[in-house]
């Protein structure tokens, strides 16, 4: 059996054995992330979530003010801000030498709409769990 290359193996449609020397294409390697993908990817990191929470409480902070409570060097903070900006979650503006950061609500609203669409499935499961637990207690 030929060794898979770069995480992409060769398998037959019905089993796990190779049927030819033609590799199966890995579509995940070079996927183009949607805005929703970038939003959720940005929200994965707790530092970025903490930054967004702080900007929600204190809008318009400078980069240095935003960075102050984190045990990170400025280049790492800037990388986090780049990810947030790429996801559209923040905007930056420069006045003189000071760069200020503001929340941008649109990507979060789109993420909430996506989550609310699937909330009905979670709600049904939670309702069934509550009935099961209450039935055991009775």
Same domain, 6 and 72: no
Question: How many C-alpha atoms does 42 have within 13 Å on its Cβ side?
Answer: 26
Same domain, 47 and 64: yes
Rounded distance, CA 16 to CA 35, Å? 35
What backbone torsions phi and psi does residue 12 show, to the nearest 5 degrees? -80, 165
Give the mean model confidence (pLDDT) for residues 30-57: 89
Round the average pLDDT of the chain to a whole number and report it: 81
Give the total number of structural domains in the chain.
2
Tokens of 14: 């019905």
Same domain, 135 and 104: yes
Give the CATH number, domain containing residue 119: 1.10.10.10
Same domain, 41 and 24: no
| Better-scored residue on pLDDT, 75 or 10 | 75
Same domain, 38 and 91: yes
**pLDDT level of residue 118 (50, 70, 90 thresholds):** confident
| pLDDT for 84 beyond 90 | yes
Same domain, 2 and 27: yes
Give the β-pairing of 61-62 and 98-103. antiparallel
Same domain, 16 and 39: no
SS (H, E, C) 42-62: HHCCHHHHHHHHHHHHCCCEE
Same domain, 16 and 65: no
Same domain, 15 and 79: no
Q: What domain range includes position 71?
A: 34-138
Rounded distance, CA 2 to CA 81, Å? 43
pLDDT at 58: 95
- The model's pTM is 0.65
């Amino acid at each position: 059996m030929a060794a898979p290359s770069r995480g992409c193996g060769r398998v037959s449609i019905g089993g796990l054995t190779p049927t030819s020397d033609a590799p199966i294409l890995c579509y995940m390697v070079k996927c183009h992330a949607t805005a929703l993908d970038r939003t959720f990817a940005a929200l994965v990191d707790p530092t970025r979530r903490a930054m967004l929470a702080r900007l929600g409480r204190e809008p318009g902070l400078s980069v240095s003010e935003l960075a102050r409570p984190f045990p990170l060097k400025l280049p790492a903070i800037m990388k986090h801000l780049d990810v947030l900006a790429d996801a559209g979650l923040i905007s930056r503006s420069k006045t003189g030498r000071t760069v200020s950061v503001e929340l941008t609500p649109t990507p979060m609203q789109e993420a909430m709409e996506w989550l609310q669409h699937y909330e009905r499935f979670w709600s049904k499961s939670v309702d069934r769990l509550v009935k099961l637990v209450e039935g055991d207690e009775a």
